Amino acid sequence: MTEVIRDVLMVGTGPSALTAAIYTTREDIDTILYERATIGGLAATTDMIDNYPGFPEGVPGMELAEKFEKQVARFGAQIDFGDISSVKREDEYLVVEVDGQPVKTRSVLIATGSDYKKLGIPGEAELYGRGAHYCATCDGAFYKEKKLAVVGGGNSAVQEAIFLTRYASHIDLLVRSSVKASEVLQEDLQKYVDAGKITVHLETKPLEITEEGGRASGVIIEGPEGTQTLNVDAVFVFVGLIPNSGFLKDSDVTLDETGLVVTNERFETSMPGVFASGDVRSGAVRQVVSAAGEGAAVALTIREYIDDLKRRGL
């Protein structure tokens, strides 16, 4: 029985991997994608994506993911469910362990994305997309003239809080200890505090997101003044991202200090034949449209790599 060796094995099925698969399969590159959870990645779990080109009225995340999937299937890519535990080189091929079984491939695309760090408080999971959010640019426009709470004190939290002032009537910024954003961002933040657009609550932690009628109605907080409830229409959480890169810890793929995959401008990692794109890549913009763009770009690099291997008879 002839051993099957794939041209490219893609880990993840978010917008970046699905776009890459459209390009590789159209070039007759044998392509398989493995997913351990939901096809479409974080985009599929977003209630409404309002900033993806071609959808002037916005598009539900699940609907966009389904359209991606159908297009990938039309060109012949194979999508399977499986948990990846390692990526190693074995002679001239790469070996990916999928559900404990080895799969040989000429190249690998790591496009596993990142997951939002959660607060782990009551109401957070239950109200996801209905008042509990992790992306200001994705969901901020739904809250025009509404009161919002933003959780976090780093650069991302302060940037997103300032961004949300273009929509919200008022923002409560909940900071566990002190604001740790850059000095420039703290100066910008102070302008919004002085204007009455943002109130900063230091040494404050959220305890619960409350609900009414199926949507968030407030957040219970504990701070220097004790426990109280802020009446807000949504809570935006910006306490960091967790890259889905744990399966690479024993590989030759270099990760940065946060666990993101380090690549060069051609999306090549430190391990020959292994590429990365989308939100798991260090330096990624973390938007659906940019992830898709990186998918198209990395597919062209993969094509050149595969062509070179085949010219050498590998």
- Domain range summary for the chain, segments of one domain joined by +: 5-115+241-311, 118-237
In the predicted structure, residue 46 carries a pLDDT above the cut 60: yes
In the predicted structure, residue 45 carries a pLDDT above the cut 80: no
> Both tokens of residue 160?
């997103």
Highest mean pLDDT among 33-47, 131-145, 191-205: 191-205
Instruction: Read off the pLDDT of each residue in 44-64 and give the average, rounded to a whole number.
Output: 86
* Domain 5-115+241-311 part of CATH 3.50.50.60: yes
Instruction: Read off the pLDDT of each residue in 76-83 and give the average, rounded to a whole number.
Output: 96
Instruction: Read off the pLDDT of each residue in 208-228 and give the average, rounded to a whole number.
Output: 96
More confident residue, 173 or 42: 173
Say what the pLDDT of residue 155 is: 87
3-class SS string, the chain? CCCCEEEEEEECCCHHHHHHHHHHHHCCCCEEEEECCCCCHHHHCCCCECCCCCCCCCECHHHHHHHHHHHHHHHCCEEEECCEEEEEEECCEEEEEECCEEEEEEEEEECCCEEECCCCCCCCCCCECCCEECCHHHHHHHHCCCEEEEECCCHHHHHHHHHHCCCCCEEEEECCCCCCCCHHHHHHHHHHHHCCCEEEECCCEEEEEEEECCEEEEEEEEECCEEEEECCCEEEECCCEEECCHHHCCCCCCECCCCCECCCCCCECCCCCEEECHHHECCCCCCHHHHHHHHHHHHHHHHHHHHHHHHCCC
Give me the residue label for tokens 């799969």.
103
Say what the pLDDT of residue 314 is: 80
- The tens digit of pLDDT for each residue in 89-133 reads 998 899 999 999 999 999 999 999 988 889 999 999 999 989 999
Q: Under CATH, which architecture does the 118-237 domain have?
A: 3-Layer(bba) Sandwich (3.50)
Same fold for the pair 5-115+241-311 and 118-237:
yes
Q: Which residues make beta-bridge pairs with 228?
A: 221
Instruction: Read off the pLDDT of each residue in 35-63 and give the average, rounded to a whole number.
Output: 86
Grade residue 51 by pLDDT with cuts at 50, 70 and 90: confident
User: pLDDT over 70 for what percent of the chain?
Assistant: 99
In the predicted structure, residue 39 carries a pLDDT above the cut 60: yes
In the predicted structure, residue 233 carries a pLDDT above the cut 80: yes
Which of helix, strand or coil describes residue 74?
helix
Say what the pLDDT of residue 60 is: 87
Give the phi and the psi of residue 42 in degrees, each rounded to 5.
Answer: -60, -30
Say what the pLDDT of residue 286 is: 81
- The tens digit of pLDDT for each residue in 159-204 reads 889 999 999 999 999 999 999 999 999 999 999 999 999 999 999 9
Instruction: Read off the pLDDT of each residue in 22-42 and give the average, rounded to a whole number.
Output: 94
Say what the pLDDT of residue 2 is: 60
Asked if 214 contacts 50 with a C-beta cutoff of 8 angstroms, the reply is: no
